[in-house]
Structure 1
């Protein structure tokens, strides 16, 4: 599907985003970035359990999720969400936003059903690009064995930095 910039701006203006992150400052930064790219309806949850409740009551179009939170972390959160038998919105698109770029984390995020992966610190362009990917090129939701979530993508290239963290990741649909 091809969406021009005017249509994308309209999509973003009507998007309902839930931001789940335990750090108040990070929620504030991401909220500001979302507003700068045209998103107007942004809801926040300070932890995983509140985030699950918020999905149930708000039915957001997209969830932006931190990986590391006390209590219920991002991976555990997503395991609960991606249960169509027990969770009301198991196909909600999720962008994992984390400060942990190790290859093992990226692979784990894909295994639990994230739609997109972003590394902190995040830019408005990177956030915009991930939202465009979700809106303009939504991947079908599939069930493969125990997996329920977006159709998996192949990893085309990975470039690591000196510490072994993911510096660049190209995924193919």
Structure 2
């Protein structure tokens, strides 16, 4: 098992039950610092204040939805635009997965959760970091297929924080 003990992880989900369940799984993996918020607006404040290493972000939340949070996180002027995001949702239809990818997420995690998929998503983000790219319509990790969403021209690879390191 990989040593995740140095990670700071944030959970943004309106369900206290889900946050507790995910926190228990993360603590079981040795993660010591887990921050929780229940809406998108508090999530953005948490990211700015705590600068977590990874964010688990629910799709449907009050005040500001997961997609709205993603648009704010990936803005050029955002305080932490390179944060790896694992989007969490119970809606797994193709259109939603495609939309989440276009928002610049790293991974998608389906509810209800189990320890193994959470571990796999964490491992993917930590062990297989993807460079960030910026195009006219996209900013985020290079999709696994190697092509930024809806892009005809060559993407600009972003230097600096493009790789997630522990």
TM-score when normalising by structure 1? 0.82
Asked if residue 126 in structure 1 is aligned to residue 91 in structure 2, the reply is no
In 2, are the aligned partners of 1:67 and 1:75 still within 8 Å (CA)? Answer: yes
The CA deviation at 1:71 is 2.2
| Alignment correspondent of 1:161 | none
Asked if residue 148 in structure 1 is aligned to residue 139 in structure 2, the reply is: yes
1:86-105 aligned within 5 A: 86-105=77-96
- Distance in 2 separating the partners of 1:103 and 1:79: 20
Runs of 4+ that moved beyond 4 A: none
Once residues 38 and 154 of structure 1 are traced to their aligned partners in structure 2, the CA distance between those partners, rounded to angstroms, is 32
Which secondary structure state, in structure 1, belongs to the residue aligned with residue 129 of structure 2? coil
Structure 1 residue 32 displacement after superposition = 0.6
Residue 53 of structure 1 corresponds to 45
Deviation of 1:146 after TM superposition, in Å, equals: 2.3
Q: Unpaired runs of 5+ in structure 2? A: 147-166
Partner of 1:30: 22
| 1:110 and 2:95 matched | no
Task: Name the SS of the counterpart of 2:64 in structure 1.
Answer: coil
* Contact kept? 1:19, 1:63, Cα under 8 Å: yes
**What is the TM-score of this pair, normalised by structure 2?**
0.85
The offset of 1:38, in angstroms, is 1.5
Coordinate RMSD, CA, aligned: 1.2
More strand by share: 1
- Tell me which of 9, 14, 19 is aligned to 2:6: 14
Q: Are 2:20 and 1:43 equivalent residues in the alignment?
A: no
The answer (yes or no) to whether the contact 1:37–1:124 under 8 Å persists in 2 is no
Aligned mates of 1:40, 1:103 — CA distance in 2: 34
**Number of equivalences:** 146
